């Protein structure tokens, strides 16, 4: 592949500087192979406010796999990349049916970030399949394929594509490789959860919707049950985020809706419970889509607080019962404007089908107080909103 010759030495230097931290976590996983630690060669297909690029993925069916991505920065928007200096950076991972979203990369570039959004489905611009790209029989992403050849499994290649995109992003001119974040939507949220425990070069991670424990309770359970028992166990062992995310030391913000149609709150709670430094933003009525996912302002505020030292989200730290109240201690650098108790008494078997109620709670200094939810409540949690309109949640309380 052709890539910018004048950047060759710079990329090699960056790769050497940052190789050891990456190996510290990747070693011992199935992605611990020589090429995963390299900055991939790339070529530019288009150049306007964002660059359309193709970078070199891992070997796939005996050939190098091309991976299409959009790269954007304040410099690409201005048409002058020499303007880029010491930029924080973010890796953007799409979900099912998605692609390399140019608008997503540009959204972050307008906020002062370098951003890369790659396609994990073997497609290029316009979702057209690329020669030698990962194959999707019948146009369906083979999420759960377990083949004898590891490099023909979609999850193996998708995770590798994200690691290589991170390598490339950190090598771009004007990017501060010590200040990177990752966020992903739906299946991209699954990969983000996994990546938090595999690539410790990130400072912070935000999975939207996605979680682990997919076989226990999620819409993905149906696909996993189509595998035979041995293949199912292999997939879970190799790819379920629950096998990795507990190793993370970075702060993680989990964003989801109370009634998400794919990622249910019991598996969700088990996943965030594995992360010592976790924040939550669980929203009644949050729709499931790429645009609805990345439109949550909490994502940027959270990431920017760690990469640019701006005020973080409020944190609902400890939830407890006191006499006839439920209470939570809250820390916040920004004044709070509202608090709510969210609960459901719905007896619907499927968590996604339960009807939730929200009632105002009292703010008293650094504490939220609400009357105990009614008898028959199955789940409840407290949330606060700050003067920026950003919402943080306490942990979900399951009532036996």
Residues of the chain with pLDDT > 70, as a percent, come to: 94
Domain that holds residue 86: 5-310
Q: Residue 330 maps to which CATH number?
A: 2.60.40.10
Q: What is the pLDDT of residue 323?
A: 86
- Does 27 or 246 have the greater pLDDT score? 246
- Are 343 and 217 members of one domain? no
Give the residue among 326, 303, 300 at the shortest CA–CA distance from 381.
Answer: 326
Distance CA 205, CA 255 (A): 11
Q: What is the pLDDT of residue 7?
A: 36
Give the residue among 211, 217, 234, 215 at the shortest CA–CA distance from 225.
Answer: 215
- Are 227 and 286 members of one domain? yes
Judged against a pLDDT cut of 60, whether residue 329 lies above it is answered with yes
- Are 327 and 301 members of one domain? no
Is residue 270 a contact partner of residue 282, using CB atoms and an 8 Å limit? no
Once rounded to an integer, what is the mean pLDDT over residues 165-176? 98
Count of residues for the chain? 400
Q: Residue 311: exposed, middle, or buried by beta-carbon count in 10 A (0-12, 13-18, 19+)?
A: middle
Judged against a pLDDT cut of 80, whether residue 339 lies above it is answered with yes
| Run of H or E including 342 | strand 336-344
Judged against a pLDDT cut of 70, whether residue 370 lies above it is answered with yes
- Are 339 and 220 members of one domain? no
Distance CA 235, CA 156 (A): 10
Backbone angles phi, psi at 303, to 5 degrees: -60, -45
Q: What angle do CA 51, 52, 57 make, to 5 degrees?
A: 120
- Are 295 and 391 members of one domain? no
Task: For residue 18, name the pLDDT band (cuts at 50, 70, 90).
Answer: very low
184-202 burial code (b ≥16 CB/10 A, e <16): bbbbbbbbbbbbbbbbbbb
Q: What is the mean pLDDT of the chain?
A: 93
Give the residue among 105, 281, 92, 95 at the shortest CA–CA distance from 185.
Answer: 95
- Are 125 and 229 members of one domain? yes
Q: What is the pLDDT of residue 14?
A: 40
Distance CA 193, CA 105 (A): 20
Judged against a pLDDT cut of 60, whether residue 11 lies above it is answered with no
- Are 286 and 392 members of one domain? no
Q: At which residue do the structure tokens 């949690």 appear? A: 381
Q: What is the pLDDT of residue 27?
A: 85
Query: Using one digit for the tens of pLDDT, what is the confidence trace for 58-94?
Result: 999 999 999 999 999 999 999 999 999 999 999 999 9
For residue 92, what are the CA distances in angstroms to 101, 176, 188, 189, 294?
A: 9, 17, 8, 10, 10
- Are 113 and 161 members of one domain? yes
Once rounded to an integer, what is the mean pLDDT over residues 92-109? 98
Q: What domain count does the chain have?
A: 2
Task: For residue 6, name the pLDDT band (cuts at 50, 70, 90).
Answer: very low
Distance CA 358, CA 380 (A): 10
Distance CA 310, CA 204 (A): 14
Residues of the chain with pLDDT > 90, as a percent, come to: 88
Q: What is the pLDDT of residue 271?
A: 98
């Amino acid at each position: 592949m052709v890539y910018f010759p004048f950047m060759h030495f710079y990329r090699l230097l960056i790769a050497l500087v940052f190789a050891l931290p990456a190996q510290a976590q990747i070693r011992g996983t199935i992605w611990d192979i020589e090429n995963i630690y390299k900055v991939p060669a790339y070529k530019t297909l288009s150049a306007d406010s964002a660059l359309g690029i193709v970078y070199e993925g891992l070997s796939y069916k005996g050939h190098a796999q091309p991976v299409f991505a959009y790269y954007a920065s304040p410099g690409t928007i201005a048409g002058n990349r020499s303007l880029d200096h010491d930029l924080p950076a973010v890796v953007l991972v799409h979900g099912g049916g998605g692609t390399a979203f140019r608008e997503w990369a540009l959204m972050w570039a307008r906020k002062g970030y370098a951003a890369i959004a790659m396609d994990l489905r073997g497609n290029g611009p316009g979702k057209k399949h690329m020669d030698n790209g990962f194959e999707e029989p019948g146009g369906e992403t083979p999420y759960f394929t377990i083949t004898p050849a590891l490099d023909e499994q979609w999850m193996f290649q998708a995770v590798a594509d994200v690691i290589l995109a991170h390598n490339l992003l950190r090598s771009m001119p004007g990017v501060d490789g010590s200040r990177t974040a990752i966020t992903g939507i739906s299946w991209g949220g699954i990969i983000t959860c996994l990546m938090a425990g595999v690539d410790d070069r990130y400072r912070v991670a935000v999975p939207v919707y996605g979680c682990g424990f997919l076989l226990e309770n999620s819409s993905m359970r149906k696909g996993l049950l189509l595998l035979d028992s041995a293949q199912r166990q292999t997939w879970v062992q190799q790819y379920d985020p629950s096998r990795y995310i507990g190793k993370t030391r970075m702060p993680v913000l989990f964003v989801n809706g109370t009634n998400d149609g794919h990622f249910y709150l019991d598996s969700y709670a088990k996943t965030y419970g594995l992360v010592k430094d976790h924040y939550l933003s669980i929203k009644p009525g949050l729709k499931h889509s790429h645009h609805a996912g990345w439109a949550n302002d909490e994502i940027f505020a959270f990431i920017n607080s760690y990469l640019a030292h701006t005020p973080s989200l409020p944190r609902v730290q400890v939830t407890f019962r006191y006499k006839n109240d439920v209470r939570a201690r809250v820390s916040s650098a920004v004044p709070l404007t509202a608090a709510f108790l969210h609960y459901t008494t719905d007896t619907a078997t499927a968590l996604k089908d339960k009807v939730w109620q929200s009632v105002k709670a009292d703010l008293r200094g650094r504490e939220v107080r609400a009357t105990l939810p009614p008898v028959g409540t199955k789940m409840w949690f407290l949330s606060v909103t700050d003067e920026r309109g950003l919402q943080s949640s306490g942990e979900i309380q399951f009532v036996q």
